[in-house]
Structure 1
Amino acid sequence: MDTTRPSITVFDIGGTHLRWADWSPERGLGQVRRSPSPSRTRRPDAAVDALQSALVRAVARPVPRGGVAGVSFGAALDHRTGTVYASAPLWGAHTQPFDLLAALRSARPDVRWHVVNDVTAALLHLAESRTAPDRCKILLTTISTGIACRSIDRRTGEIPLDGCGLQGEIGHLPASVVLDGLPVDLRCDCGEPGHVAAFSSGPGIRRLSGVMRDRAPGPWNASRIGARLASGTEFETALAEALDEDDPLATRLLDAATGPVADVLRVALCLDPQIGLAAFTGGVAAGLGDHYRDALLRHLDRSGLYLTSTRDPGWVRERIVVCGPGQADGLIGAGLAALAGEAA
């Protein structure tokens, strides 16, 4: 008798792309499909409610009749109810609550829907992997179009939430960056100035690069990253290649961009020493790999945890990893969340 369970349709919705696939614990992920996310970046003149409606249609369409769907959504959302409070990469400064779960149920009442934050989904997958079999607590941070983190206590499976059903919206904490002794004034995609994401997200790093170019066009144009960008290379590729070649200006750019993230990480490890793994994922962190980890460690070497960094420097270093391919997949995490929801 075949005891394999029917596949769950799983989605991972980010500020840039929407991915979906069929998944089951026995068979794993099927073919992953991808399309651009309906966002203000791609459709700057569209009203937010039109973007939200387009998103719901795109997610509702692929699910088989009577199926189960798990959605990993890149937004600040109430983990208890599926209500989205805000998504700067998708909708800019818009903060009117949007009941995504209710909208999906209305569009496809035949489907059993389960919605979680994308970092929560990635963390659920990471917590089940071999990356941290003996770690009490895991902190996962995504550095991508947006920035956020989540922590889980593996002894209980609990992801703590505040009174709004949120945790870890670090991208919108206040931050500052100084280049060559002068402060940098940048605005976050949410519309507010001086947030972590204003400097450290994918768009934030591009904005920082523009500041460096405008302040010192000669050195910028002579640098490897400047030359690559001038030749038409995409920003992410140009930065990675320049770092591979030890371009000093690209290294300075990454150091500036990782400073606010290192500040948050330092405080997290100081306040909760039970964090046994501080992992990073998302397009920026995963794309830069060891370069990203090394930049964080340079900050923590220069200004680390009081006494601990001096007496036991390995304590911090061995906790910080950048996830490789397949280690923290929001699609698999969406499936795990849906399984848990079905069993509840």
Structure 2
Amino acid sequence: MRVTVAHPRDLGQPELSRWRALQESDAAFDNPFLSPEFTVTVGELRDLVRVAVLYDGPDIVGFFPFERHPLGIGKPVAAGLTDAQGLVHAKGLDLDPRRLIKDCGLSVYEYDHLVSGQPLLDGRYTTHPSPIIDLRDGWGPYTETLRARSGKTYKSTLAKSRKLQRESGPLRHDYAITETGPLHTLLGWKTDQYRRTGRTDRFSQRWIVELVERLLATRSDSFAGVLDMVYVDDVPVAGHFGVRTRTTLAGWFPAYDTAYAKYSPGLIHHLAMAEAAAASGVQVIDMGRGEKEYKEKLKNGELEVAEGRVARAGVAAGVHWMMRVPVRKTRATVMANPLLLKTADKALKTFGRLRTVLQG
């Protein structure tokens, strides 16, 4: 096997077409974060993005997108933002993960959402569920499943939607819109949410805002940014921005106006989004790894992702282990313990309130 490494902008149309063909040949890769368009767009904004192209003789058999950080530390493209990571490859590919990262000029490759069945899985790693809304049987069968599994949630969401309309006006849902105005309304809500809950505001980084703007403008049969908003009496109430392949929509940035919180606008929106997505040909909405109440209420299936690292022996890998692995294990312990998770979440929200007060 031969490996060449290039910046995404240097890939030609034959390589990009081959990438799409490999992605569409295996359902395990049916996630927009593994699409060439996503890597190319991030590469336009971050010069540390690279793609390893794997050859078996004259044939391309795989693409490995990654970011190369100082000391040879490798991370997924747009690390910290994406819910699907890994190598897009031909079936039956046999490779040595350590040899691959060596050929990429890396000492370590760290991942937290590696899709299942990856030849990159090496050494110790943990697996985690990634809840989905499975629409392959259609919208009707999904709602029947939802009624059976989360009937109280489904009925109360419909009741709150009716109450919202009685008290505030008619409801409208716009799916796959392209205007940037609604997008920035959504990002403003998301920024408020990050600050309110004590999290880091991702949109304080200009490149992430620009990435979302560029993805919104990206439109093709195989990949697109998808923005949808729910309005009441023409006032925006809730929305979501994500990306899709032909058949999978990745849940990414959902948010709502807290002035309408008592009506559960997030759940109202998600049901409207799922129905419109199903009508547009989407078969799976991947809500991403993470313990969130709305995901538990809406899911009717799960995928599996892995967290871990591939490392070569060396000083850089040792330093990386000391800096990252204990922190990751501590976080995993907190996430697995409901009491610790509740305490940590409460502490973050308290920090968020204090930060809001101090910032005036």
TM-score by length of structure 1 reads 0.27
Larger helix share, 1 or 2:
2
Higher strand share: 2
